[in-house]
A and B are shown apart, each in its own frame.
Chain A
Amino acid sequence: MIAILPTLAEPQQFSLPEKLLFAALVLASAWAFWLRFSIVLHKILQSKKDSNFHLFPIAKRIRDFVSEVLFQSKVIRQRPAAGLAHAFVFWAFLAFALVTLNHCARVFGLGFLSPAAPIGRFYFYFAAVFAAACAIGILALFIRRFFLRPKWLGQKLSWESGFIALLIFALMATYLAAFFVPSTGPQIRILWWLHTLSLLIFLPIIPHTKHLHLLLSPFTVFLSRGSFSQIPPLAGDEDFGLITGQDLTQLVSLQAYSCVECGRCTEHCPAANTGKLLNPKEIILGVRAYLNDLGPQSDQPLLGKYNSQQAVFQCTTCGACEFQCPVGIEHLPILIGLRRGAVNTGAWEDDHGSKLFLNLERGSNALGISPIERDKFIERQQLPLFDGTQEYCLWLGCMGGYDPKGREIIADFARIMRFLGTSYGVLRKEKCTGDPVRRLGNDLLFQQLSESNLEALAQNKVKKIITICPHCVRTIQEDWKEYGTPPEIEHHSEFLARFAHKLPSKISPGAPGPSLLGTRDEPALSSQSPNSGPGEKKIVFHDPCYLGRYRNVYEEPRAVAALAGSLVEAPRNHDRSFCCGAGGGLAFLGEETGERVSHVRTAELVATGAQTIATACPFCNSMFRDALSSTSEPAPQLLDIAQLAARSLPKQ
């Protein structure tokens, strides 16, 4: 069978001038490559060491490497068509490693793969399959970039990308063509030289362009910080975050040079999508430009010419950028690092931000409300105080303790816990977990709040915490680790899903309940009103960033919401969910520029036609409530999954 297939032709002999010319070209190409690459390498290596970096445990690194680099999982998953085209190019490159080596070795008669020998013959066919796929792939990518022009690739056409595509296509075409020419004669010689020239031109272009990701991103992926949105501890007394080039660590520099400018981060960024200044891709490129111009030893500020402070403080820390970055860039430690630099030195001046910080310096909650109000709520709801005998400590959080709507969620969740016979108690005193100040980069306040809370929890002998707020969950479980050992913590969606089978399932069919919005003086959605729950009501669940991307909990809240009706999905759901606009401390930072993130997301949820919007985060809830109240049309009900679950409980 193999016999009927054409054989790869190779020039048989190379003359001395040819050998010399080839050697000279290779040297020139390598020299041009190294000229730039050595600078990049130097800048990365000269950057500050990552003090908390540990190579071990290495298993996860290997897993991620295999999945994200070798199998291109992130590239394909987020943009399947373009991703697959890219994957073929990548795989062809891998397959071509041996072919290219053999190709060059051949000049000096050192070829190790022979088209005639079975192994060589097989390998060349193998590579040819990839070459064909690659040629088609690169052609498709070329058409996409230059004719379809998706907006996240930027306004400006990248001619270098076009040229690179041409070179890759030439490499593949010249390889494939060699199967169809005789191994003697000028044709193969021309093909061989074209292939060689394409290769030698390609090599020096790599470090000069975003194609540097070819070389760096495998390392970037392998050398990640270890987990999503991991904020590194400050190292020593003089580390206040990312202020100047001297604060850029090797990982940050490596990541900055790895960016392939695909724009996936920007495509998903809630700020960039609503007319804000922030564009996560430009943040990374800003750091790269800084490194190019000034280098990692510079004492020039990072914020100013290269990146804007305003942009950095527009981030909701939803993590969509970092979550799907195909080359392993960790945007959140960089964005939050820049915020830390500005806040820890007092350079950030913002009326709302200062008010939030002062509220938490002096008081116990981000809202600046007296804790006496929390005491009153606990008394009114007859919530038991935690005394060490109960199974769970029910953490109210700022929203659960003070926000009228958050309190309704707590009240309903407490009803469910009572119904299930789960013992729980609330702390007499509770402070903000520090989530908003952590994300805004105020390390002083965050340390004070986490230490004070950790101490209170230890004193009360709390073993397990349960809360309605994904921000509290994340902060307690992950961020507090910097200052102690937090108790076990669970989000109420996880708890409710576990006991879903014990909750009265399905609701008696009935007439649709009155829409609560627009029928009152103000759209006060109170839990007393949703008294009817028709069986086939459509419910759309909004994935909170801090539950989904941050905690990988997607199905549990859906299982709970499904108790009350049939689920529909918003266009952006699960790990692609679009932020409500509240995260990263932004719930406290006053009016946004451009469109409101919450309005965009609310419109998307309303457009599903669902009668109920289900949330699992009191911040999302509060943002949507606000957004819904500014429309005068009849809007869907807005309920937390705990409220949905509580509706089917027997009346007490």
Chain B
Amino acid sequence: MSGILVVIEQRPGKPANAQIARISWEALAAAERLGPPASVTAVVLGANTESAASEVAARAQGEVIRVEHPLLAPYAAEAFIASLHQLIQSEAPTYVVLPHTYQVRDYAPAIAARFGQVLIGDVTAITSAENQPPIFTRQLMQGRLNGNYRPTGSGPCFVSVQAGAFPAVTAPDATQAAISTFTPAIDAAQIRTRPGAPFRAAAQAVDLSAAQIIVSVGRGIRAEENIPIVQELATALGAELAASRPICDSGWLPLDRQVGSSGQTVAPKLYIAAGISGAIQHLVGMKASQCIVAINRDPSAPIFEVADYGIVGDLMEVVPALTEAVKAAKQ
């Protein structure tokens, strides 16, 4: 038993040369901490993996295996579990490294269980010493603790890595890794789940609670005519526009965009509070946001207490600059 398998995840619907999710490159990098790059085999699963496999081959240093079967698209857990189970049995790797995505969380624990193993999930660091099995670090208690885990099993060791924890591998010079194909033996009867096509939440009433990014505006905007300034930032970010109560009270934005104790409670990935001082009524509505950016002229405004990033300044100047910076970064 030797070698490392890395399961590459694709993003359907992307252009042919950018089908691979960024986190997959990071998983590849993490795998290279566990053994020489040449021993790392990248695995691409799907019904039609040719272009994805060649995209991977451009960056991988070891081999690339296409696990190809019509039943592997669209994703169904049972097909993935059966296919990877067969592949791992045949390859007998020491480690199987996966990106910690929603999809991996859906099937990887079951594959590990099928081998009598337990996935070490959401790993943020790998520490290896000479002649010692590596130590995998992952977060516990909602990120308030780090835990070091050591695999003690005899089978393959399954590891999934957190997004952003490892720097992605970059393309090596011109060397194209060898690509082989593995055809798993699965049949339709094995797959009991019927997945439907992905859809986005119907855009009816404003549901701020589902928004990933929110740009929220407060009294610092000073006049209704200035609302477009923040609207432009929201548009550039693909964000929902929201507001504190005085803005909605004044009728500058509709009431259903109000965040706070009398409005909606939100928890987006990114919350930009522009010209909001941070009254408790507002804070309780947005404090659970993953990342909070506060822009306010008053350096003692309470909003800075909950913010991850703070900018003391006039939103009329900072917000347009930010809009430009976001647009520039997206190009």
Contacts and interface: CB of A to CB of B under 8 A. Distances in A.
Interface of A: 352, 355, 367-369, 399, 402-406, 520-524, 526, 528, 587-588, 590-591, 622, 625-626, 629-630, 632
Nearest to A629: B246
Nearest to A366: B284
A368 B275 contact: no
B298 interface: yes
Interface of B: 218-220, 244-246, 249-250, 255, 261-263, 265, 275-281, 283-284, 287, 296-298, 300-302, 305, 315
Contacts of B281: 622, 626
B296 A626 contact: no
Nearest to A372: B144
Contacts of B301: 521-522, 524
Nearest to A351: B265
Contact of B262 (A368, A404, A526, A590): A590
Contacts of B218: 521-522
Contact of B276 (A352, A355, A522): A522
A522 B219 contact: yes
Contact of A626 (B245, B297, B305, B315): B245
B298 A521 contact: yes
The prevalent SS among residues of B at the interface is: loop
Nearest to A398: B280
B250 A630 contact: yes
A630 B246 contact: yes
Contact of A522 (B220, B265, B280, B305): B220
Nearest to B284: A367
B280 A355 contact: no
A524 B298 contact: yes
A591 B261 CA distance: 9
B249 A404 contact: no
A402 B281 CA distance: 11
Contact of B265 (A355, A520, A587, A622): A355
6 contacts: A367-B283, A404-B283, A521-B218, A522-B298, A591-B262, A629-B219
Nearest to A587: B261
Contacts of A399: 280
A208 to B, nearest CB: 46
B280 A521 contact: no
B216 to A, nearest CB: 12
B220 to A, nearest CB: 3
A520 B298 contact: yes
Contact of B261 (A522, A588, A632): A588
Contacts of B277: 520-524
Given A367-B284, A622-B281, A629-B219, A521 B302 contact: no
Given A520-B219, A522-B276, A524-B277, 12 more contacts: A367-B280, A402-B280, A403-B280, A405-B279, A520-B277, A590-B263, A622-B279, A622-B281, A629-B245, A629-B246, A630-B246, A632-B250
Nearest to B250: A630
Contact of B315 (A521, A588, A625): A521
A588 B262 CA distance: 8
Contacts of A368: 284
Contacts of A524: 277-278, 298, 300-302
B275 A522 contact: yes
A352 B261 CA distance: 8
Nearest to A622: B280
Given A355-B265, A588-B261, A523 B219 contact: yes
Contacts of A622: 279-281
A541 B274 CA distance: 34
Contacts of A528: 300
Nearest to B222: A521
A406 B279 CA distance: 10
Contacts of A369: 283-284, 287
B39 to A, nearest CB: 45
Contacts of A591: 255, 262-263
A241 B283 CA distance: 34
Contacts of A630: 245-246, 249-250
A188 to B, nearest CB: 71
Contacts of B297: 520-521
A404 B280 contact: yes
Contacts of B220: 521-522
A526 B263 CA distance: 25
Contacts of A403: 280
A522 B220 CA distance: 6
Contacts of A526: 300
**Closest 5 pairs (CB-CB, A-B):** A522-B277, A521-B220, A404-B302, A403-B280, A524-B277
A404 B305 contact: yes
B171 to A, nearest CB: 44
A466 to B, nearest CB: 22
A406 B284 CA distance: 14
Contacts of B261: 352, 587-588, 590
B311 to A, nearest CB: 12
B238 to A, nearest CB: 26
A167 B128 CA distance: 102
B79 to A, nearest CB: 39
A171 to B, nearest CB: 56
Contacts of B287: 369
B142 to A, nearest CB: 10
Nearest to A370: B287
B256 to A, nearest CB: 11
A95 B143 CA distance: 80
Nearest to A369: B287
A523 B222 CA distance: 12
A588 to B, nearest CB: 7
Nearest to B276: A522
Contacts of A522: 218-220, 244, 246, 275-279, 296, 298, 301
A580 B240 CA distance: 33
Contact of A405 (B280, B284, B298, B315): B280
Nearest to B277: A522
A483 B54 CA distance: 72
A405 B277 CA distance: 11
A406 B298 CA distance: 19
Contacts of B302: 404, 524
Most buried by A among B275, B279, B280: B280
A521 B305 CA distance: 16
A521 B304 CA distance: 13
